[in-house]
A and B are shown apart, each in its own frame.
Chain A
């Protein structure tokens, strides 16, 4: 019998923490730095690949994901050096997916062929909105025209291109979003991430919201209408949702992100990168220092970026398995759930099924179309004592 994580696979996440500017809605670990010594950073990543490789010998790598921050600020040579070391460290699947997140500016588009030559086979572009005033409001540095130009370059360079949009923006109407979404789908290659704007604490938007200065945000009902419309339009145009916020042509789902949602193992390298690694049947949560300087220092001075691991017990694992897996349209495997938690959840599942929020199909437990938009409430109920 395979270990639990093997049902989800194994991937590698590499975090590049720098951006040209910080977007007001973003609560990711991203920083604006005047100058970056990319060679030093490359050396540190290689050290970390060696360290993690020694812990996970022989595991078959399905994906590599360069996230950030803005990884499209990395020199293509450095991406190339990292990927060479990755291939030398782990066996990889034939269909390995290597994604790099990119901002759609002309400067970055100029590096796309370089990334392709280094081995990247998929880009995910942060386009975010299809009108200039909204792009400015979101603190983006590109225009719609520039984004489309960069997107065309990306389509020329890569078979697989995804892009992100943010909706439920300030002052956005349902009609405006539907029109924008149709336009986006008409351009889309194989994948779209459609995120509802979330006001996070500790961001510029969060501060403005707390001060009562972030006006005209859609109320819950309008946001729900937008979400429903998104499901309908994407389904109708051949991009069904396979996860809460992710849509793809069937077969073009992100291999890397599926590892997270299917609760596989993943190694995280770079400042603040999280991982889940299984050793001897026990899954560990791995972390690294959040601040870029602290991480670099630690790797250079001690040879490891790792902070002490947190061993997860079975209930923790079950919680994570459900909170990640129920995001997927396919849901979670009931066999894996019972292996992790026995029949502990059975009464709650039955109650939520009666309420029309969960259903069971082909050996999987899934949220229904009614349950997925209220997944947090479903999880609170499911996981309550």
Chain B
């Protein structure tokens, strides 16, 4: 065990690409936690997707031993948190597990929306925050301006901000000293009953479920019988370790310490982030505050392009769900797309990550249907139901009213793009809540319906601001609005996978955009094809895809027979990638592309 006064626990708050992972690598390297020959970039990001996208999805931890300049050796526990809004709850739990944060800001860029959301989480968790101005080796670095911005926008003292180049190593020692001297030591009672927070968990193919914990009070030892207070399940601790960042076994973890254990837990689903772990006997009866079950907020259908791959898809989804408790799924049947799954995600990034992993790790091509949020449908008979899929919308005559989820969106943008951003938010039914400036950057806060954001809001935002805007959001609650289900009919047949919930006032616009897009996306057939958007029985937009008029090979002689035959055989295989609706073939990419709005 380590004396509490010699422990410091911290996280790093940063916007994507501001250098969080590089700084973590440098801290690990400087303290010789990992031998130089074993160093690789982004030590803490283990999944390919994490490394590739430069994002952190799972929390991770590393224990660093630092001999400080005062002659004492300190244990520094870094928790690397997910940085994305989709994982806001997970971030909040990680924040509760440490006492301080390093706020890393790129000194060539300045504060971004995501930095704000995470730093507020840190402040909410009563952290000491040490500002770090990174990338001082770059010519565009402007530390004074960025320090002033940190004080203006975030409202914390940045006069002692440490100037660092995680790339060259400059300022790393100063950072380690600041951790020791500016961050508080953890508190805790070694003699009290065990109280540990479940920070995160993941599946390891050798060890099974690995649980990361922060001990608040008491001691956990190998062999202990422990209890998860939310689920009531009891397990025996098989392995107890700290991460350096390789697992190193340890006999016990006391107050203030961070480590991992395994306990023959079968599924990640059995572990709840934020749960309190205590001993089976003589345990505490007071769980740590703030636990929330994870609730998916965005749903979409995932269907295999090749319907023969349905079983493979089920297999892939079940395997992924083993390691991701926040991802939900149930079988779905679509008249258009056949068998697939309706899946729930914490947000859009989460959706993309899961979809990418299925396509990449399991090599299954997917059709993804329009993402939808969860609507609350209030029926005339007084009952209420959740609608995850527009295809399940009940008959309107039985519906009293519908509520939709709203978010508070924070957007930071250089002021030359502000006009376009405000227009985008306005077009998406946004209500402005705040608009402030810090230097030449504006911060706009909007109350927006989540359904206007789930599909392509972020893409549009990036496009109208040439990538300079940053965006973050949090769910605020539900509100009634005039929502309707819009159906799309192709050649007079409704295509369920294209139906969507829209605001009545936006329906014509969306319907028009959809049918125009589809007209371009569906290849011409040998007959003309009406494409319509309808609400109930009423058509609100219509386009006609005219019949194919010319598709014939100009020259075809004796030497062309083989090539033409093989081409026809190949097209036969290609046709399997199209979905047939009545007599019409719709290419798979149409299901997503049709939903993208140009404004």
Which residues in A have some Cβ–Cβ distance to B below 8 Å?
Answer: 13, 195-198, 220-221, 223-224, 227, 244-245, 257, 259-260, 266, 268, 272-276, 285, 287, 310, 316, 319-320, 323-324, 327, 355, 357, 372-381, 383-385
Contacts and interface: CB of A to CB of B under 8 A. Distances in A.
B559 A273 contact: yes
B555 A374 contact: no
A220 B552 CA distance: 11
Contacts of A376: 551-553
Nearest to A167: B554
Contacts of B569: 319
Contact of A316 (B553, B557, B558, B565): B565
B558 A274 contact: yes
Contact of B549 (A257, A274, A319, A373): A373
B43 to A, nearest CB: 43
B264 interface: no
A273 B561 CA distance: 12
Interface in B524-579: 524-527, 548-559, 561-562, 564-565, 568-569, 571-572, 575
Nearest to B556: A327
A89 B228 CA distance: 93
Contact of A374 (B552, B557, B562): B552
A285 B572 CA distance: 21
Contact of B565 (A196, A223, A319, A377): A319
Contacts of B527: 355
Contacts of B526: 355, 357, 374, 377-378, 381
Main secondary structure on B side of the interface with A:
loop
Contacts of B551: 373-377
Interface string B494-531: 00000000000000000000000000000011110000
A221 B557 contact: no
Given A198-B554, A224-B550, A227-B550, A379 B568 contact: yes
Contacts of A384: 572, 575
A163 to B, nearest CB: 15
B554 A268 contact: no
A383 B568 contact: yes
A13 B550 CA distance: 30
B552 A244 contact: yes
Contacts of B555: 195, 198, 245
Given A316-B565, A380-B575, 4 more contacts: A320-B564, A373-B551, A374-B550, A374-B551
Nearest to A11: B558
A272 B563 CA distance: 13
B496 to A, nearest CB: 24
Nearest to A351: B583
Nearest to A327: B556
Contacts of A275: 558
Contacts of A195: 554-555
B556 A320 contact: no
22 contacts: A13-B558, A220-B524, A223-B550, A224-B549, A244-B553, A244-B554, A260-B557, A266-B558, A268-B558, A274-B558, A274-B559, A274-B562, A310-B562, A319-B568, A319-B569, A320-B565, A327-B556, A374-B552, A376-B552, A380-B572, A383-B572, A384-B572
B561 A320 contact: yes
Contacts of A373: 549-552
Nearest to A195: B554
A310 B563 CA distance: 13
A96 B524 CA distance: 44
B560 to A, nearest CB: 8
A15 B564 CA distance: 20
A180 to B, nearest CB: 17
Contacts of A259: 558
Contacts of B524: 220
Contact of B559 (A196, A268, A379): A268
Query: Which of B553, B557, B562, B568 is most buried by chain A, counting CB atoms within 10 A of its CB?
Result: B557
A377 B549 CA distance: 10
A235 B562 CA distance: 31
- Give me the 10 closest cross-chain CB pairs, A-B, nearest first: A224-B549, A224-B550, A260-B558, A375-B552, A274-B559, A195-B554, A376-B551, A196-B554, A374-B551, A320-B561
B565 to A, nearest CB: 5
Nearest to B526: A377
B556 A324 contact: yes
B163 to A, nearest CB: 48
Nearest to B573: A385
A257 B558 CA distance: 8
Given A355-B527, A380-B568, A383-B568, A285 B562 contact: yes
Contacts of A310: 562
Nearest to B546: A221
Contacts of B557: 257, 260
Given A195-B554, A327-B556, A374 B549 contact: yes
Contacts of A379: 568
A274 B575 contact: no
Contacts of B558: 13, 259-260, 266, 268, 274-276
A383 B550 CA distance: 19
A54 to B, nearest CB: 21
Query: Which of B526, B555, B561, B575 is most buried by chain A, counting CB atoms within 10 A of its CB?
Result: B561
A144 B572 CA distance: 44
B553 A198 contact: yes
A254 to B, nearest CB: 10
B564 A323 contact: yes
Interface in B360-390: none
B325 to A, nearest CB: 43
B571 A324 contact: no
